[in-house]
Chains A and B, each alone.
Chain A
């Protein structure tokens, strides 16, 4: 079928600049380059992990893909349709098929709505169901995410973090979406609850043939759940590869440092960490050439002058680094 040949989501050269103003009436004198030209595909049923440190642009990327923020430029093709060209009503139709779940289950649920109303709302807005059918559908959704349908009359504050994340998932699933963007879905949860939600996400993906864009800063979780991983640094993709390849054979110095910094829960393993100097530079004034050169342990002259492009070094392993640039691996 055509469906499987074509990726579900294609992002091409997506750019989002935010004007930086000094005072309410002044004109923008500078721009924060939150997302600065990223491209990737996600196949049907695939999970793409998007990792990077705070401020690298991963959440902005998600918001612009969903058009919750308007992109400065670039193309987002979802299931064959260019989202950037759609008008409001067309967009509303498409949004049924792409849902988002946020990090903080405490602030993303309306505290004045009952769980039943929260889960039923998308079905009512999109005129999907009413009356008995609606009630049955809500009960089904709660059951699917592991909540007792008898909880329907309660309010969000009566639930723990893990349970609230389940409510968020039930709502996201209501309209039978194809893609769910998960923005740090387990970061706010306790260790023992994180694994429950990760397992639930895996089960739901199987059951409903879902495609995930999984955004997180926790590399252990990303490694666990993703088929492919893209690493972002200062608004750009530094490296992208199959999960196993990326974690076993990272090529970009930033990815290497990131992976070496993850503390391993085994005191017998003493790894050599690559400790990066300094902080992530401001996206308003990103460094010339390679954006990572200010912190890179292998910096060469060319890195301060020329920006490395994201190159396929073989086996769909993409790296934006002059060290590997142009070379074909093996």
Chain B
């Protein structure tokens, strides 16, 4: 598989009145063509900021991005805003959790998708509408000709998410960031959207970075999984290793804490405490105050993300 995206030592810090927030604190990873990478973690762990940093959507100031991002052999961080705009949309695109807040309420569906197509493709004006209808059809919106003149509020949440996916895919991007794409939706609608994403993966070989806190969604969709905690990667492995042989206590804790439909009911085993404040991170390993196995060294020194071979990485003193 060809590597599409390589990220090296990415750091995204936010300068605020209260201090510097290390939202993403030195992460390395790559994404190959056609693969689905799951990015898991709880709110504030930096999974969305990682995606936004690569998309060039972190406002600066207050944001400050360091490191290297190579997309298709282009150094993304050195691109001008104009070049970046061409890359974004054409080559990589993003869909968000709240479809309603990502759509413009005063423009019709047709206008919004049409705009994306017109901006990014060399296409005649009269062909734009036809192309828009094709895209709406592709994402399973019934009677697309009639939907063109609808405004976002005419559509249900599931349909709005489809419109966003249609927009994101209108230029056949090589990489799609899907940030909690089904979290705001009901389960039966979530199932529809996940099916749609799977279809796009097979039909267009689109690489997907799927960001989610829902371990079920990750298990179903991802080939490979990275677990984030407090701005850092704590574990990376194939989807089956993550779920069947987790090595980091945080990964293990997450898996034990969710109620399961596929197993007999028993008392849940929560992770104690709560996610640390990024402005006031504990010394040593950020997870140590919540870790059931914490050792003296965990308090003193932060572990490095070690490679264990076969695409497996973990940052824990126990391993």
Interface residues of A (CB under 8 A from B): 53-54, 160, 162-163, 190-196, 198-199, 202, 217, 219-221, 223-225, 247, 257-269, 273, 275-276, 278-280
Contacts and interface: CB of A to CB of B under 8 A. Distances in A.
B219 interface: yes
Contact of A198 (B195, B219, B268): B268
B262 A199 contact: no
A53 B219 contact: no
B62 interface: no
B191 A195 contact: no
A257 B219 contact: no
Given A192-B42, A261-B190, A279 B253 contact: no
Interface in B48-104: none
A52 to B, nearest CB: 9
Interface in B187-225: 187-192, 194-195, 213-220
Nearest to B225: A267
B255 interface: yes
A191 B42 contact: yes
Contact of A265 (B158, B188, B240, B260): B260
Interface of B: 42-43, 142, 156-159, 186-192, 194-195, 213-220, 239-240, 243-244, 253-255, 257-262, 265, 267-272, 274-275, 290
B141 to A, nearest CB: 11
Contact of B240 (A190, A195, A257, A267): A267
Given A193-B274, A267-B240, A258 B213 contact: no
Nearest to A188: B43
B186 A54 contact: yes
Given A190-B43, A262-B261, A279-B158, A267 B187 contact: no
B274 A264 contact: no
Given A160-B274, A261-B191, A263-B216, A224 B43 contact: no
A196 B260 CA distance: 15
Given A220-B260, A263-B219, A258 B267 contact: no
Judged by DSSP, the binding face of B is: helix
Given A192-B257, A195-B270, A266 B262 contact: yes
Given A223-B259, A265-B243, A196 B270 contact: yes
Contacts of B190: 261, 263
A263 B239 CA distance: 14
A150 to B, nearest CB: 17
Nearest to B241: A267
B36 to A, nearest CB: 12
Contact of A267 (B142, B188, B220, B268): B220
Contacts of B271: 192, 195
A30 to B, nearest CB: 18
Contacts of B243: 265-268
Contacts of A261: 187-188, 190-191
A123 B11 CA distance: 50
A279 to B, nearest CB: 5
Contacts of A223: 259, 261, 265
Contacts of B189: 53, 279
Given A192-B271, A192-B274, 10 more contacts: A53-B189, A54-B186, A191-B258, A192-B254, A194-B257, A220-B216, A261-B190, A263-B194, A268-B243, A275-B191
Nearest to B264: A244
A313 to B, nearest CB: 22
A54 B138 CA distance: 26
A265 B270 contact: no
24 contacts: A160-B274, A191-B42, A192-B42, A192-B290, A194-B258, A199-B267, A199-B270, A217-B187, A220-B260, A221-B259, A223-B259, A223-B265, A224-B259, A225-B259, A258-B188, A261-B191, A263-B190, A263-B194, A263-B217, A265-B216, A265-B218, A276-B191, A279-B156, A279-B159
A215 to B, nearest CB: 14
Contact of B268 (A195, A260, A268): A195
Contacts of A219: 187, 261
A162 B220 contact: no
A265 B268 contact: no
Nearest to B239: A267
A269 B213 CA distance: 19
A259 B187 CA distance: 9
